[in-house]
Structure 1
Amino acid sequence: MKYAGMPFGMWTLFAPSFRNQLTAVFGYGTNTAKAITKKAKPKYREIISELPEFEKGDRFKMNLVNCAMIGAFILSMPERPDVERLTEYYAKSMMTKPLKWFCRKSGKNKFTPKDISGMKATATLKAADRNPYSWNMEFYEYPDGSGYEGRFTKCGICVLMKKLGLYDLTPALCRLDYTMSEAGGVTDFVRQYTLASGGPYCDCGYKKKGFVKAGTEAGR
């Protein structure tokens, strides 16, 4: 994968936040946080350079680029973080004002015909059959009309985290799904399994906030 383009843009957008949260979450001094960030940048570029290009229509390239960035920062820290603190660090680093705006904008389009069509196209693509760093997903609409679920049987983040020797920390990245759903403001995120925790698949369920099934009454 080429560094120019999305990877460069993502570093420019998020690296300051990743640096600042090194102090806020882990308590590193300002100079140490700067040193970690300086070390992480070439590591990030190295990780990106070893990844294949994503095919047109694959919506998950950004997910893997984000994984490369957090991986580079972890590998540049003086001490390996635990999952709990890394979960907090990753969420706070990612949830910048631009990403919160993106989540709200995406929330407005959730469950529209265009959104449903995009999910179905992703399920049909099965990009991980050709690129191990992408995802394979099955799409299920809830029969009661309350939303839908993407069920992932292959996960590029799991593959990359294994390659980086960080697989045990993967659940910290999975938790961001809840945070982004909450920021969107229109869905309740539900999940039973993740591949990273030994489940048969990763289920990403999005239920409409305040959904009441047609023909029912509150309190019935």
Structure 2
Amino acid sequence: MKLTAMAYAYPFIMKGIIKKQLKKYYDKAKLKNIITNTTRGYKEIVKNSPNIGGNKNIFLNSYLMGAYLVSLYKNTKDIISLNEFDEILVTGLNNFEFMKKQMSKVDLLSRQYKEKIEKAGHWCEANKDKYPTNWLVSVEDKENVNLTHIVFTRCGLCALCKRENVPELTPSLCATDYITMSFANCRLERPITLGNGDKCCNFYITKKNHAV
């Protein structure tokens, strides 16, 4: 995979999310090394990753964030437990004001959003053999104005964690969806996931005051 301008930008974005929390575990000099090594490892992961379609793929940003977190996990797991890593990620995302602002503008139940995901799903399906580690996704029950039901039958982050020999990190990456969707005033229920070995990921997205 090529290191695009967006790929180069991600370490700066992610550093702002996690640096404050990492200060609890490392002194200034060690933290600097952790950030440097994480960025270096992230670039290697991206360069060694199979192509998933570049900017044509709306899931590219999710992949880049996952690649950075995989590298961070590898560089900190000798000191930080997986549960502590999860706490760092949750706290960092909840303090990420830019993402909150951007997600607050998105209506996850709108026809426009559903059509965007559906269009992406058609593209992924048409290119599934060309990009075998990419996501496969469809939208169900499209006319239901109170629900967005998205089904993933293949996940790029599952493939990433498996390839980097950190499958235990997959649920941590999956958990970020609950946080980011809450920024859009939505509630996510996901009874089954690929990350847990199920046949698909079932996303049921409703407004916070509605149940599925």
The two structures have a TM-score, normalised by structure 2, of 0.87
How far apart are residue 174 of structure 1 and its match? 0.6
Instruction: Look up the match of 1:113.
Output: 111
Q: Distance in 2 between matches of 1:209 and 1:145?
A: 14
Q: Map 1:156-195 onto structure 2 (within 5 A).
A: 156-185=156-185, 187-195=186-194
* Greater Cα shift, 169-178 or 71-80: 71-80
**8 Å contact kept, 1:195–1:202:** yes
How far apart are residue 143 of structure 1 and its match? 6.9
* Greater Cα shift, 71-80 or 96-105: 71-80
Out of 50, 70, 75, the position equivalent to 1:52 is 50
Are residues 113 and 183 of structure 1, via their aligned partners in 2, closer, same or farther at CA, if it must alter by over 3 Å? Answer: same
Unaligned regions of 5+ residues in structure 1, if any?
A: 214-220
How far apart are residue 91 of structure 1 and its match? 2.5
Which consecutive segments of 4 or more residues in structure 1 shift more than 4 A? none
Instruction: Look up the match of 1:34.
Output: 32
**8 Å contact kept, 1:74–1:80:** no
The two structures have a TM-score, normalised by structure 1, of 0.84
Q: Distance in 1 between matches of 2:133 and 2:91?
A: 25
Are residues 168 and 211 of structure 1, via their aligned partners in 2, closer, same or farther at CA, if it must alter by over 3 Å? Answer: closer
How far apart are residue 21 of structure 1 and its match? 2.0
**8 Å contact kept, 1:64–1:156:** yes
* Greater Cα shift, 55-64 or 74-83: 74-83
**8 Å contact kept, 1:158–1:196:** yes
Q: Distance in 1 between matches of 2:102 and 2:115?
A: 20
Instruction: Look up the match of 1:19.
Output: 19
Q: Distance in 1 between matches of 2:206 and 2:66?
A: 26
Are residues 144 and 112 of structure 1, via their aligned partners in 2, closer, same or farther at CA, if it must alter by over 3 Å? Answer: closer
* Greater Cα shift, 4-13 or 127-136: 127-136
Q: Distance in 2 between matches of 1:170 and 1:155?
A: 10
In structure 2, give the amino acid aligned to 1:199: D
**8 Å contact kept, 2:93–2:179:** no
Give the secondary structure class of the aligned counterpart of 2:105: helix
Unaligned regions of 5+ residues in structure 2, if any?
A: none
Q: Distance in 2 between matches of 1:92 and 1:130?
A: 37
**8 Å contact kept, 1:195–1:201:** yes
**8 Å contact kept, 1:90–1:173:** no
**8 Å contact kept, 2:190–2:204:** yes
Give the secondary structure class of the aligned counterpart of 1:207: strand
Instruction: Look up the match of 1:151.
Output: 151
Are residues 208 and 33 of structure 1, via their aligned partners in 2, closer, same or farther at CA, if it must alter by over 3 Å? Answer: same
**8 Å contact kept, 1:119–1:139:** yes
Q: Which structure has the larger Rg over C-alpha atoms?
A: 1
In structure 1, give the amino acid aligned to 2:87: E
**8 Å contact kept, 1:128–1:154:** no
